[in-house]
């Protein structure tokens, strides 16, 4: 692979803020971190608000998860492409372009009632995932070397701030206005941040002279999309049917072609030598498996907490049946004449509003994420990033098992999610630090793009898997009127406990795999240097 890197002649080869005042350094860092939080902020809001969004798109049912899946899928495909563009054309420039596309996507989602257009808006918003990719590169290029590990750790602190602000803001907007207000506010926040980035954040002087490999990006996106469609729709279509397997086979063929094409390309979207180097491959594989849990937990506890209790649903079906009988026959029957059983039934359901969920469950976890992200950054400077990553993944696995075996109550959600958040803050800080220590600076953008791919794909795969489990544990109401059984009535937005529990067991298995990968990892065992080895 032929690559030329353009660098100024002096030692400050990337525009690094050596010698700048602390106020200047921390102002630049704050703007970078705040702007890169638009993706996690929208994720925490939208994932928590899915149950409120679903009624606006009748018939979507469990496929409402595709509002998140498509975000992760397109983000995964776009991240390495945008990462490479940032290396070639400038990180600040691509930062701003991603923000502009995010605003357009938010406006589309705030104004449409068409499910396809809504998903297209989510696709445009998915480019914001790459802002985190670019932020890591800007931090490495601009921050003084000794501050790089701490600054990367503070990105997790920023995520914690987004996790706090997101559910609280989203809850207030949904409960007092509508879910559409979420997207208007996200658009306004991003528009307010764009001039701050323009005027405060300097452009990195590092450039890589390469062509952009659009063919590779298309193969990656197509292969990932077809594979995820198989995972999501396999239950409905039949896992072993030839027409269903064709989606999986086609997706895998495209992914194999992606690897083959990238190996031959002079300027690949992903450097295969870099991708398969143990220092990078283990980090990326760990990110893929760990992110399954992030996607499933974020969606599941929010959805279950906002689901009304089973008794409320039963009463609603009874009242609806009585009203229907009165309308059709003129008869007024007593409530006892209608008996309702939900099959398979469920035990979760607090009936929280989105704001109540944010305050009672999500808020504490967000604060913990914020604190332990900074802790992990400090630990990485002293002992390396591998040890706090191992601790994070142990917590991931333990939390997943706890979610799977404990009763699905709001109290348990609060306790276990708070424990999980310790690991999440440490994980989110350690992964970029490990990559910074593993790759040369001219490969920073694309390597962080690879990290974005794996994390986004992990979230998307996790949601696709849990969606399949929920489909297979869908809820129906068995109604008996005066002792006469009626045809089962599907309840498309309700699912049995087992669907969620199976999802949590998948989390436990995936986190265990990620833990094994971290244990065999050779690098990250010495104090982080901010990439001075390269």
As a whole number of angstroms, the distance between CA 361 and CA 416 comes to: 10
Number of H helices, E strands in the chain: 19, 6
Amino acid 34: pLDDT: 87
Kindly indicate the confidence band of residue 2, based on its pLDDT and cuts at 50, 70 and 90: very low
Residue range 268-302, pLDDT digits in tens: 877 788 778 888 999 999 999 999 999 899 889 98
Give the architecture (CATH level 2) of 20-213+265-520: Up-down Bundle (1.20)
CA atoms of 353 and 351, how far apart (whole Å): 7
Per-residue pLDDT for 47 more than 60?
Answer: yes
Is it the case that residue 531 has pLDDT exceeding 70?
A: no
The per-residue pLDDT of the chain, averaged, comes to: 86
The residue that leads in pLDDT, 471 or 475, is 475
**pLDDT-wise least confident of 12-16, 98-102, 489-493, 507-511:** 12-16
Instruction: State the DSSP H helix or E strand holding residue 480, giving kind and residue range, or none if neither.
Output: strand 474-481
Q: Residue 158 — pLDDT band, cuts 50, 70, 90?
A: low
Query: In whole angstroms, how large is the CA radius of gyration of the chain?
Result: 24
Q: Which pLDDT belongs to residue 69?
A: 80
For the chain, give every domain's residue range: 20-213+265-520
Q: Where are the alpha helices (DSSP H) in 307-409?
A: 310-329, 354-357, 363-383, 386-405
Q: What are the pLDDT digits (tens) for 172-208?
A: 888 888 899 999 999 999 999 999 999 999 988 877 7
**Beta strands 474-481 and 489-495: pairing type?**
antiparallel
Average pLDDT (325-340) is: 87
DSSP state string for 257-324: HHHHHHHH-SS-SS-HHHHTSHHHHHHHHHHHHHHHHHHHHHHHHHHHHHSPPHHHHHHHHHHHHHHH
Q: Which of 267-276, 299-308, 456-465 has the lowest mean pLDDT?
A: 267-276
In this prediction, residues 25-44 reach a mean pLDDT of 86
What is the C-alpha to C-alpha distance for residues 62 and 470, in angstroms, rounded to an integer?
A: 7
pLDDT of the residue at 533: 57
Instruction: Report the pLDDT value the prediction gives residue 534, as an integer from 0 to 100.
Output: 54
| pLDDT over 90, % of the chain | 40
Q: Look at residue 10 and tell me whether its pLDDT is greater than 50.
A: no
Residue 85 confidence (pLDDT) above 50: yes
Give percent above pLDDT 70 in the chain. Answer: 94
Handedness of CA 9, 14, 18, 21 (dihedral sign): positive
pTM of the model: 0.79
Distance, in Å, from the CA atom of 162 to the CA atom of 141, rounded to the nearest integer, reads: 24
Q: Is the pLDDT of residue 165 over 80?
A: no
Contacts of 10 (CB under 8 A, 6+ apart): none
What angle (nearest 5°) sits at the alpha carbon of residue 497, between those of residues 55 and 304? Answer: 45
Task: Assess whether pLDDT exceeds 70 at residue 4.
Answer: no
Question: pLDDT (tens digit, 9 = 90+) per residue, 379-413?
Answer: 998 999 999 999 999 999 999 999 999 999 999 99
pLDDT for the residue 530:
66
> Could you identify the residue written with the tokens 């601009």?
142
Which residues have a Cβ under 8 Å from the Cβ of 241 and sit 6 or more positions away? none
Q: How confident is the model at residue 153 (pLDDT cuts 50, 70, 90)?
A: confident
Tens of pLDDT, residue by residue over 107-120, are 999 999 999 999 99
> What pLDDT score was predicted for residue 456?
75
């Amino acid at each position: 692979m032929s690559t030329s890197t353009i660098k100024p002649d002096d030692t400050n080869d990337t525009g690094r803020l050596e010698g700048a005042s602390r106020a200047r350094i921390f102002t630049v860092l704050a703007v970078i971190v705040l702007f890169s939080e638009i993706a996690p902020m929208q994720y925490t809001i939208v994932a928590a608000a899915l149950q409120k969004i679903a009624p606006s798109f009748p018939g979507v049912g469990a496929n409402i998860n595709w509002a998140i899946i498509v975000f992760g899928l397109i983000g995964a495909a776009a991240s390495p492409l945008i990462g490479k563009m940032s290396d070639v054309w400038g990180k600040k420039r691509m930062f701003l372009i991603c923000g502009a596309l995010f605003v357009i996507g938010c406006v589309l989602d705030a104004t449409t009632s068409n499910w396809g257009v809504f998903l297209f808006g989510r696709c445009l918003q998915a480019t914001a995932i790459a802002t985190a990719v670019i932020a890591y590169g800007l931090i490495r290029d601009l921050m003084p070397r000794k501050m790089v590990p701490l600054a990367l750790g503070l990105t997790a602190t920023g995520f914690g701030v987004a996790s706090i602000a997101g559910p609280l803001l989203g809850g207030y907007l949904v409960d007092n206005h509508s879910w559409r207000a979420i997207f208007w506010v996200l658009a306004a926040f991003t528009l307010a941040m764009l001039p701050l980035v323009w005027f405060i954040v300097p452009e990195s002087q590092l450039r890589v002279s390469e062509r952009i490999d659009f063919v590779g990006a298309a193969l990656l996106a197509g292969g990932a999309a077809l594979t995820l469609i198989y995972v999501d729709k396999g239950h409905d279509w039949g896992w072993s049917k030839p027409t269903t397997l064709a989606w999986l086979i086609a997706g895998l063929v495209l992914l194999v072609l992606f690897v083959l094409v990238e190996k031959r390309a002079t300027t690949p979207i992903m450097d295969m030598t870099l991708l398969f180097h143990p220092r990078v491959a283990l980090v990326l594989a760990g990110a893929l498996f760990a992110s399954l849990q992030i996607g499933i937990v974020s969606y599941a506890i929010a959805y279950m907490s906002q689901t009304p209790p089973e008794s409320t649903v039963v009463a609603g079906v009874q009242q609806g049946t009585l009203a229907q009988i009165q309308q059709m026959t003129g008869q007024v029957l007593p409530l006892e004449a209608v008996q309702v059983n939900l099959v398979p039934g469920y035990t979760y359901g607090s009936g929280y509003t989105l704001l109540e969920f944010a305050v009672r469950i999500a808020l504490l976890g967000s604060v913990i994420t914020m604190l332990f992200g900074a802790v992990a950054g400090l630990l990485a400077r002293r002992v390396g990033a591998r040890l706090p990553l191992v601790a994070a993944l142990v917590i991931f696995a333990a939390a997943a098992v706890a979610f799977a075996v404990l009763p699905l109550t709001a109290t348990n959600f609060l306790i276990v999610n708070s424990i999980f958040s310790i690991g999440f803050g440490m994980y989110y800080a350690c992964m970029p630090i490990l990559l910074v220590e593993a790759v040369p600076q001219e490969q920073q953008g694309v390597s962080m793009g690879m990290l974005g791919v794996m994390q986004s794909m992990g979230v998307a795969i996790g949601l696709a898997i849990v969606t399949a489990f929920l489909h297979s544990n869908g809820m129906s109401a068995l109604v008996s009127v005066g002792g006469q059984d009626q045809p089962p009535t599907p309840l498309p937005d309700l699912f049995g406990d087992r669907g969620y529990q199976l999802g949590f067991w998948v989390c436990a298995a995936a986190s265990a795999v990620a833990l094994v990968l971290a244990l065999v990892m050779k690098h990250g065992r010495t104090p982080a240097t901010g990439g001075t080895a390269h």
